[in-house]
Amino acid sequence: MNAITTIDCHYLDRAEFAAAYLLVAGDEAAFVDNNTNHAVPHLLAALAAAGLAPEQVRYLIITHVHLDHAGATATLARLCPNARVIAHPRAAPHLIDPHRLVASASTVYGEDEFVRLYGEIGPISADRVAKMEDNAAIEFGGHELQFIHTRGHANHHFCIADAGSGSLFTGDAFGLHYPALQNHGVFAVPSTSPTDFDAELARQSIQRICDLQPERLFPTHFGAVTKIREGAQQLIRELDVAEQLLVEASESDHPDDALTDFVRPLLQQHFAELLSSQFAGSEVVTATEVLALDIELNAQGIAVAAAKARRKRAADAI
């Protein structure tokens, strides 16, 4: 069995917000997701605590190329010279040549803020990057790691099934499970952030994850999940809400660049009611603070998807 360590990356200086995972089997290791360059000391500390050196890292695996999952990949590849980088075929080009990814994010954040948040993101030699097709597998620790393409959050997303431990690493495909919100049972929220949100594909990915019947899930946000059926049910309900907001936004009279402002208050109201139904008193305030960034990102993603739906309707009408 492979040993799995959850590493708190302290993303945005928040505890238990974003994780990386260290897999150890004998004298070799693999990282699943790696957060940003600021997380590298945490990853290397976990590796050292396991009694291993960077030269013993065999794989650097990213579930998708969003920067809170893949931002440190080039730095880790330099520090772990024997590691192969494992990525979705659509993610791999952005690792080999991150120019477009960096330029896009720098435009959103501003160049100085981007560097502060993520550090320098350099290219990775193409001969060190392996592209995993759907259902492809690699050997690790005498067992297989199988790659399951899971769209809905990002078109370049896969999950990793670890036959050696009965575990499945879900990136963002099985939503967000913040430990601070698990006080009264399962609390799971889908990530509908830009730019590839598709509710139906997200539902299909959740079903595919459940069909594999893993014992444990490891979402990047955050830590082990064992109540899989309950989490799936809540995620499906929340995806239905997001899809309804998408329809309302796409059919509204608001211009595309105002759709986030249209969606945001509706989504905030939904979560206010949801949190009030599951938490009490000061817990509601805390839960709202925990989810504030994700509610904003989810509103943006729903707005982007609504604008895409408009364009598709217009094209189909021609």
pLDDT tens for 169-207 read 999 999 999 999 998 888 999 999 998 999 999 999 999
Nearest residue to 176 via CA among 265, 41, 61, 291: 291
| pTM greater than 0.85 (yes/no) | yes
List beta partners, residue 176.
189
Q: What is the pLDDT of residue 268?
A: 96
- Say which DSSP state 103 is in: H
- Say which DSSP state 83 is in: P
Q: What is the pLDDT of residue 1?
A: 54
Nearest residue to 172 via CA among 273, 32, 292, 74: 32
Burial 193-207 (b: 16+ CB within 10 A, else e): bbebbbbebbbebbe
d(CA 211, CA 46): 32
Per the listing, tokens 């350099």 go with 122
The tokens for 154 are: 């990002």
d(CA 118, CA 137): 30
Sequence-distant (6+) residues with CB within 8 A of 213 are none
Burial 37-46 (b: 16+ CB within 10 A, else e): bbbbebbbeb
d(CA 114, CA 103): 10
Q: What is the pLDDT of residues 125-160, one digit of tens each?
A: 999 999 999 999 999 988 899 999 999 999 999 999
Average pLDDT of the residues of the chain: 94
Residue 108 banded pLDDT, cuts 50, 70, 90: low
List beta partners, residue 139.
144
Query: Do residues 243 and 190 make contact, with C-beta atoms less than 8 angstroms apart?
Result: no
SS3 144: strand
d(CA 294, CA 274): 15
Whether residue 222 is predicted with pLDDT greater than 80 in this model: the reply is yes
The mean pLDDT of 283-312, rounded to a whole number, is 94
Sequence-distant (6+) residues with CB within 8 A of 67 are 36, 101, 105, 117, 118, 121
- Say which DSSP state 223 is in: S
Whether residue 93 is predicted with pLDDT greater than 80 in this model: the reply is yes
d(CA 40, CA 44): 6
d(CA 148, CA 158): 5
Q: What is the pLDDT of residue 119?
A: 83
Amino acid at 232: A
Query: Do residues 163 and 149 make contact, with C-beta atoms less than 8 angstroms apart?
Result: no
Whether residue 103 is predicted with pLDDT greater than 60 in this model: the reply is yes
